[in-house]
Amino acid sequence: MNKLNAKTLLWLLPAVISLPLSAKTLLQAPLTRLTAITGATLHLSATETLTNATLVIEGNHIKEIIKDGQIPENALVIDLSGYEVYPGFIDPFAEYGIGYEYPKDERERPVYEIKRVGGNADNGSIHAQMQWVDYIEPNKAAADKWTNNGFTSVQTAKLDGIFRGRAAVVSLADKNPSELIYRSQGQQFIAFDKGSSKQDYPRSLMGAMALIRQTFSDVRWYQENKTKLAEQAVISGLEFNSALDALGNLEQQTFLFDTRDLNSQLRAARLLSEQKLKGTLLGNGQEYARLDELKAQSFGLILPLNFPKAPEVADPLVERDVSLAELRHWERAPANPALVANSKLPFAFTQYGISKAEDFWPRLRQAIAHGLSEADALAALTSSAAELAGVDDIAGRLAPGYMADLVVSRGDLFKDGKIVSVWLQGDEQELSPRDTLSGQYRLQLDELELTLELETEPKLKGSLSSGEISIELQEPKLVDGRLIFSADLSAAGMTGLSRFSLVFDKDGVSGRMTDAKGQAQPLAGTAAAAEDLTTADNKNQPPKEQAKPAEPLIGKLTQPNVAFGLEQLPKAERLHIRHATIWTSEAEGILEDADLLLADGKIERIGKQLSTPSGYRVIDASGKHLTAGIVDEHSHIAINGGTNEDSEAITAEVRIGDILNPDEIALYRGLSGGVTTAQLLHGSANPIGGQSQLIKLRWGENAEALKFKGAPASIKFALGENVKQSNWGDKFTSRFPQSRMGVESAIADAFDAARHYESELAQYERLRSSDKKRTLSPRPSTRLDAVLEVLKQQRDVHIHSYVQSEILMFLRLAETYKFKIKAFTHVLEGYKLADELAAHGAGASTFSDWWAYKFEVYDAIPQNACLMTQKGVVTSINSDSFETQRRLNQEAAKSMMYCGMSAEEAWKMVTINPAKQLGVEDKVGSIKVGKSADLVLWDNNPLSVYARTEAVWVDGKRYFDREADANIARAQDEERAALVQKILSADAKRTAGETPKDNNEPQWHCDTHYQAFGTHAGQTFEGAL
């Protein structure tokens, strides 16, 4: 046997290297095909186009692009004259080719702990360890949903859970899975929706955010200890966690955040920015409403074309229930991509969010009709999508070295062109006949003249005719560019079935006919003259309708983009309010016929007959009353995704500040009732709930701007029926505590755990640097951090309470652990132990006259506020209600009726007293020089049921004005009528669309148990506690 010489080995080596790893025979080199595409218009990218060029494909990639149109030797030539060729489109957000399902838990009762398998995380919604590249199985039927629209690759992961795992970017070709992988380590998919996890935690949006924040903290802690301890990690007590391991090097990863609405999209952006992480945001179609905020965060966007179908307005009775926001969104949604493009934010398109894939191109053309440029549209399908998916080095443009993923269309795809084929890694997948064969052709066969008539839509069919004779073609089909069919020509004097093979080119038709005896005869022909054509494409058809430019938008864009939103945010005023009755809520009491100056958001001067400084506007308040803005100690307005994280007994890590909803109309309604400040509290589902958020009702501002800067941190605790799950149903009997005495133990256990945690942190910090390097550091806990802040008196406690015995218990517990209680809220039996409350220094925020509405309030009395006030307890009246908040002035007045409280003391219960309970009495709650100009002008005594607000200022900005409110209402009626008319006159294409998701949420209360967010797999337990 001859030995291979060195030259032979060198010749064979490239072939061996290029073998697929799955090759069965070592030296079985794959055949490499060379294909030359000529004549087409090549769209190299969104900004580069070539004509008269040749695109050369070698195997699965583009070898070269020859500008002078030369054709390489030995190449298969495909003439695409008259066609457009684009780079293959990329969908960066998909679930494709993954058949894996997570194990199902059939338990009906709440699941507090999951069974951990291997090194998986201890929460069932964390799947960060999943590498979806390992589960890819090509599926031609599923791929067609994308390829029919020109997509040639997708970024795919299973869309289930909060941390969903590492996506893979794959080709949609039907090949061996290992040949399809463009990027094995794609983006880490993440969401606020826990998916199919049966584990109870988290059951709210704020719970999901807290879990994500804790997980990021865990990753950094895990990686730090894993790195420094190396092989000693296990010995040191660091348990292996595959999810945390997969999330290592956070700063090098990119997170693709799936969110369900605009507010959560912005939350995701803020969370990623807080963690200093790179990310991409899945859009929702409403980006236009807060583009400035999104631009400030500068994350890339993936936009669905989920334009809503027109609201039902034909029936006037039904139309009344359609909101102005819905009408506005229907009109503006198709313009969203153009507005995003104009903002210069990077974005790509996805098919996700469209119920029918065939609607993708009609929707995209709608977007173009509404201002999106064709270049931006193409970029969003190709180069921008490739960049967001991390494959811009091999996909997203036509260039040498890039994958041979192409889209071939007849005509301009962004006008009325049609995709005829896609090329997947160099292999053509025909979607419709490439050539436009529809029409009539004259064929000459010896002495016989035939007319061939073809139709290609909806499927290929045709006939042969001669004089009065017409013969239907049998099984016509295109094979390698040839038209193959049979026809029975007996009526024309020939016997049996004749077989035809025809080739069409710009010069006409040529080919042959093989008769029943097997004799072949050549034939030739030409297309019928244009004036003779009677093809299916134009027979009795009206002229093709040209795309019409979109009509101008008539709906307004306001902040927020709902009814009574503002077209312009208010600016701080310089005002001289004269001749008012001023309720100071200070020692000065009520000042008659007094003046007030405000400027730069502050109260400047208070007095009588003040001079008007230059540049100040004068308001004559004769006969009117000026008060400080009302302060609500207990509210649940302006919250998204649930007021309770009701899964576990201690959830101190969750933050109301994470889930503010600036679009909530209750903000505007509260302003109309004179409320300017409100504490938004976690509900009462657990002994230690979540962190509170104090806000100012700055209607029209974004979520972050609502927050009361400089206010002390606070947290909601709770006692009584709710926390021990008394009324939750028979399924909820296993969570500790289940009794009132258990509530005390649960809170004490949390305090002890926090003290131990503090001790561990301190002990570690006392170690020498050399010892720290070989010692496992304590795991940071966002939950215990918050509890520890209470014990250090860095976070105020507001505690839901009713019954005397429990109030006394918590007073003693606070004294045992040496912290002060800021306020008991509800506290309907506070009158029984007012002395003890006063001695501790705890405030009391109560209802005016609620009693007997559940067992633990049977002893409530309407004189409660008076009795506590008489004992020196700082007492306030709160709303705990969307509706009550609008009339807190009247709620305060009830104590004058029930127990003779003075008007000044009654008014203090909704101004300075709650401000003291919230630790902001130096900023708001009274009219005093230097304080914030949070003011309300009333047309009557504010404690009168007839009093109405005329104007409300927050920080010196007029956020509510009675006259402006009436003008807005009239303008909205006109706008609404115009939008309804636009819908009624729109064509079917414009009114079609997706059924909007119902993102409306209930009016949250303390005891709202049903969560509108993140409850899946049968976990939604509806009803209130």
Residue 490 pLDDT greater than 60, yes or no: yes
- Condensed to tens digits (0 to 9), the pLDDT of residues 691-749 reads 999 999 999 999 999 999 999 999 999 999 888 877 777 787 678 687 888 899 999 99
Across 514-534, average pLDDT: 70
- Condensed to tens digits (0 to 9), the pLDDT of residues 956-972 reads 999 999 999 999 999 99
Residue 20 pLDDT greater than 50, yes or no: no
**Look-up: residue for tokens 């009626």?**
973
As a whole-number percent, the residues of the chain with pLDDT over 90 amount to: 72
Q: What region, left, alpha or beta, does residue 811 occupy, with left being phi > 0 and alpha being psi -120 to 50 degrees? A: alpha
E strands, 366-496, are: 406-410, 418-424, 427-430, 439-445, 448-455, 461-466, 469-472, 474-479, 482-488
Give me the pLDDT at residue 24, please. 47
- Condensed to tens digits (0 to 9), the pLDDT of residues 777-821 reads 999 999 999 999 999 999 999 999 999 999 999 999 999 999 999
Give me the pLDDT at residue 433, please. 66
**Look-up: residue for tokens 């039996």?**
829
- Rounded distance, CA 911 to CA 678, Å? 11
Give me the pLDDT at residue 262, please. 96
Q: Which residue has the higher pLDDT, 1001 or 131?
A: 131
Q: Which residue has the higher pLDDT, 733 or 134?
A: 134
- Rounded distance, CA 495 to CA 484, Å? 19
Least confident of 44-48, 166-170, 881-885, 928-932: 881-885
Residue 751, φ and ψ in degrees, nearest 5: -65, -45
Across 190-216, average pLDDT: 95
Give me the pLDDT at residue 506, please. 62
Q: Which residue has the higher pLDDT, 1015 or 765?
A: 765
- Please report which confidence band the pLDDT of residue 1010 belongs to, taking 50, 70 and 90 as the band edges: very low
- CB atoms closer than 10 angstroms to residue 424: 24
Give me the pLDDT at residue 545, please. 44
Give me the pLDDT at residue 29, please. 55
- Asked if 58 contacts 32 with a C-beta cutoff of 8 angstroms, the reply is yes
Give me the pLDDT at residue 962, please. 98
Give me the pLDDT at residue 131, please. 97
Give me the pLDDT at residue 996, please. 83
Q: Which residue has the higher pLDDT, 464 or 362?
A: 362
Is the bond preceding 400 in cis, omega lying within 30 degrees of 0? no
- Please report which confidence band the pLDDT of residue 116 belongs to, taking 50, 70 and 90 as the band edges: confident
SS3 for 119?
coil
- Condensed to tens digits (0 to 9), the pLDDT of residues 624-651 reads 999 999 999 999 999 999 999 999 999 9
- CB atoms closer than 10 angstroms to residue 475: 8
Residue 480 pLDDT greater than 90, yes or no: no
Give me the pLDDT at residue 327, please. 97
Give me the pLDDT at residue 12, please. 32
Across 329-355, average pLDDT: 97
What's the CATH code, domain 439-532? 2.40.128
Domain ranges across the chain: 439-532, 630-924+986-1025
Across 232-260, average pLDDT: 90
Structure tokens at 431: 């979607």
Q: Which CATH architecture has domain 630-924+986-1025?
A: Alpha-Beta Barrel (3.20)
Give me the pLDDT at residue 1016, please. 33
Rounded to the nearest 10 degrees, how much is the dihedral formed by the CA atoms of 915, 920, 925, 926?
A: 130
Give me the pLDDT at residue 402, please. 98
Give me the pLDDT at residue 285, please. 96
Q: What region, left, alpha or beta, does residue 751 occupy, with left being phi > 0 and alpha being psi -120 to 50 degrees? A: alpha
- CB atoms closer than 10 angstroms to residue 908: 26
Residue 671 pLDDT greater than 50, yes or no: yes
pTM: 0.88
Give rounded-to-5 percent helix, strand, coil for the chain.
Answer: 30, 25, 45
- Asked if 515 contacts 496 with a C-beta cutoff of 8 angstroms, the reply is yes
- CB atoms closer than 10 angstroms to residue 261: 18
Chain centre distance of CA 833: 48
Strands 520-527 and 439-445: antiparallel
Give me the pLDDT at residue 489, please. 85
Give me the pLDDT at residue 94, please. 98
Give me the pLDDT at residue 11, please. 34
- 29-43, 98-112, 839-853 — most confident range: 839-853
Give me the pLDDT at residue 431, please. 85
Least confident of 233-247, 499-513, 743-757, 864-878: 499-513
Please state, rounded to an integer, the average pLDDT across all residues of the chain.
90
- Please report which confidence band the pLDDT of residue 1007 belongs to, taking 50, 70 and 90 as the band edges: low
Give me the pLDDT at residue 15, please. 33
Residue 531 pLDDT greater than 60, yes or no: no
Task: Give Cβ neighbours of residue 892 (< 8 Å, ≥ 6 apart).
Answer: 848, 877, 906, 907, 909, 910, 943
Give me the pLDDT at residue 483, please. 86
Least confident of 467-481, 567-581, 896-910, 1006-1020: 1006-1020
SS3 for 811?
helix
- Rounded distance, CA 967 to CA 579, Å? 27
